[in-house]
Amino acid sequence: MPVKSCTVLAVMADGHEVTTVEGLERDGELDVVQKGFVECHGLQCGFCTPGMLLTARALLDRDPDPDEARIREAISGQLCRCTGYENIVRSIRWAAEASR
């Protein structure tokens, strides 16, 4: 479950598994969500990218084929001032399609 790091104290995570953006990669292979952001130019400055990637991964774990509205709802807590979200949404759709 994605959480905002600015609102969760480390002690609150005690006993829970914590996945960071670095943890998405497995055995030198990027996660399909990371690949989608590369393929569809879903990142620019990189400030929001870790949160977007982790939120997208959590969404696809719950809903492997989300529509655009569901994607936009899932990322609505993330702020991106560079992309206008179009490429981010495209990146997540790409990841969903590539996962099939």
Please report, for the domain that includes residue 66, its CATH number. 1.10.150.120
Residue 31 lies in a domain: yes
Rounded CA separation 95/25 (Å):
14
Inside any domain, residue 1: no
Q: Residue 5 domain-assigned?
A: no
Spans of the chain, pLDDT less than 50:
none
Domain residues for the domain of 59 are: 10-99
Q: How many structural domains comprise the chain?
A: 1
Residue 56 in domain: yes
Q: Which residues contact 89 (CB under 8 A, 6 or more apart)?
A: 68, 71, 72, 75
Would you say 21 and 54 are in contact if contact means Cβ atoms under 8 Å apart? yes
Please count the residues of the chain: 100
pLDDT at 69: 98
According to the model, what pLDDT value does residue 83 have?
A: 82
So what's the pLDDT on residue 6? 85
